[in-house]
Amino acid sequence: MKFGKRILEQADRLAEFTEDEGRLTRTYLTPKHREAGEQIAAWMREAGMEAGFDALGNVVGRYAGDRADAPVVLTGSHMDTVVDAGRYDGTFGILTAIACVQDLHKRRKRLPFAFEIVAFCDEEGVRFGVTLIGSRALAGRFTPEMLKARDKDGVTLKEALVAFGGRPEAIPLLSRKGIAAFVESHIEQGPVLLDEGLPVGVVTSIAGASRVKARVTGLAGHAGTVPMPGRRDALAAAAEMALAVERHCASRPRELVGTVGKFAIAGGGAVNVIPGSVEFTIDLRSGNDAHRKAAVAELQVALNEIAQRRGVTLDWDLFFELEAMPCDEALQAALAESVKAHGVAVRHLPSGAGHDAMELAHIAPMAMLFVRCGDGGISHNPRETMTAEDADIATSVLLHFLENFQPPNP
Ligand code: HGY
Ligand code: MN
Ligand code: MN
């Protein structure tokens, strides 16, 4: 085994950079972001790359090509995590690429393209509620509006970026053009490869997503004196709405998945007060944009009907929409060749999870390589797991792809 054992050890090391005692949470523009970024940059330099933070807090490593004006191939994944995360989501895509460069460097081999690895600064959007921050900047899709997003303490993204040593004014310079390809390796975060006994798979497309912030306003009241029929209980209404989301998506299992991931009583609630205001989020995903958009519209109607019947009001803020993104056919075929070269059956599969690759697809042909997850494919959970053997095969497949990739003449 050439790569796998060290990659898992490095993932263990990065998991130590957490802002939460006893669990892995690493969010954007925090001291742990900086420490993890410095560790990643150090590994990139050890592998023969120039590396450092960019103006937005991405860590970018560059392995020069065989000539100064060689085209650029990009790879990478995100270095931030969800709350109480697993240690391979995002991280694996960074470490596997560094391992490839380390091997090329050891052999003094240069490729017919410059190879850049990006540890994207924030894909999950945990701190500011804005996702895909680093990859949007490279795709030229970062907007000044995003700088105004605030964290739970009211700190704006811009204030945090300046305090981090970032340069908001330089963000437009990060957008890239003429990239020959973007390939992201990522854990599958699902059970398909595990169920079929395959170490890797080639992604066909990445599901689109819609996210809603819903606020239900009823009437706070005394838990002991307000008769049941007269209540305008915001929590009971929101709970019925959450079940409606589940029922709607469960009735279309092949098209949709829906999740109420955040659910809170304004002010935290009290044991003897009928909740007057509740906020929750809805996350809808589908490989088919028309199905997803129809579901958003249908659910808005259904939840408003619940609100009307219960005498509460519903505020509906559709704050995030991302179209499903197909992977480049030619790159999929090239990845499939590299999978075959390792004696592995080629399995094409869609990604239900979103990835930075969705943004890079706006500026380059994009593809993804999935690697098997253990424990039922669980992810966004500290039980996330993968094997060193699979990390090794996936890295070897990526390296084979890189050594056989001929970028089109610019
Ligand atoms: O939500 C997602 O699909 C990704 O993990 N950010
Ligand atoms: Mn994730
Ligand atoms: Mn991820």
Residue 345 CB burial class (10 angstroms; 0-12, 13-18, ≥19): exposed
In angstroms, the CA 368 to CA 334 distance is 11
Q: What is the CA(180)–ligand 3 centre distance, in A?
A: 23
Instruction: Tell me the ligand closest to 211's alpha carbon.
Output: 1
**Roughly what angle, to the nearest 10 degrees, separates helices 388-404 and 329-340?**
120
Name residue 406's amino acid: Q
How many CA atoms within 13 Å lie on the side-chain side of 57?
A: 29
Q: What is the CA(312)–ligand 2 centre distance, in A?
A: 34
Nearest residue (CA) to ligand 1, atom 4: 354
Q: What is the CA(33)–ligand 2 centre distance, in A?
A: 16
Q: What is the CA(266)–ligand 1 centre distance, in A?
A: 26
- Which residues, at least 6 apart from 315, have a Cβ–Cβ distance to it below 8 Å? 214, 215, 217
Q: What SS3 class is residue 57?
A: coil
Going along the chain from its start, the domains and CATH numbers come out as 4-207+324-404 (3.40.630.10), 208-322 (3.30.70.360)
The answer to whether 58 and 40 are in contact (CB under 8 A) is no
- Which of 130, 76, 68, 138 has its CA nearest to residue 101? 76
Nearest residue (CA) to ligand 1, atom 6: 124
Q: Which protein residues touch ligand 1 with a CB less than 6 Å away?
A: 123-124, 353-354
Q: What is the CA(408)–ligand 1 centre distance, in A?
A: 31
- Which residues, at least 6 apart from 60, have a Cβ–Cβ distance to it below 8 Å? 51, 52, 53, 54, 116, 117, 118, 119
Q: Which atom of ligand 1 is nearest to the CA of 380?
A: 5
Q: Which atom of ligand 1 is nearest to the CA of 285?
A: 3
H-run or E-run covering 63: strand 59-63
Counting as low any pLDDT under 50, the low residues of the chain are none
In angstroms, the CA 230 to CA 223 distance is 12
Retrieve residue 42's tokens: 């150090």
Residues linked to residue 384 through DSSP beta bridges, in sequence order: none
Q: What is the CA(186)–ligand 3 centre distance, in A?
A: 7
Residues linked to residue 114 through DSSP beta bridges, in sequence order: 72
CA 359 to chain centre: 11
Residues in the chain: 410
Q: Which atom of ligand 1 is nearest to the CA of 132?
A: 6
Helix, strand counts (H, E) of the chain:
11, 16
Q: What is the CA(383)–ligand 3 centre distance, in A?
A: 15
Instruction: Tell me the ligand closest to 123's alpha carbon.
Output: 1
Q: Which atom of ligand 1 is nearest to the CA of 207?
A: 3
Full-model pTM: 0.94
Among 80, 131, 188, 262, residue to substitute to test ligand 1 (most atoms within 8 Å of Cβ): 131
Query: Which residues line ion ligand 3, judged by CB < 5 Å?
Result: 89-90
Instruction: Tell me the ligand closest to 132's alpha carbon.
Output: 1
In angstroms, the CA 321 to CA 265 distance is 25
- Determine the pLDDT at residue 253: 82
Instruction: Calculate ∠ Cα 380-383-388, nearest 5°.
Output: 105
Q: What is the pLDDT of residues 340-388, one digit of tens each?
A: 999 999 999 999 999 999 999 999 999 999 999 999 999 999 999 999 9
Among 77, 123, 356, residue to substitute to test ligand 1 (most atoms within 8 Å of Cβ): 123
- Determine the pLDDT at residue 410: 61
Q: What is the CA(293)–ligand 1 centre distance, in A?
A: 18
Cα separation values, 126 from 77, 123, 290, Å = 16, 9, 27
In angstroms, the CA 45 to CA 23 distance is 29
Instruction: Tell me the ligand closest to 81's alpha carbon.
Output: 2
- Which of 7, 65, 61, 22 has its CA nearest to residue 406? 65
Q: Mark 37-68 as b/e (b = at least 16 C-beta within 10 Å).
A: bebbbebbeebbbebebbbbbbbbbbbbbeee
- Which of 145, 186, 78 has its CA nearest to residue 320? 145
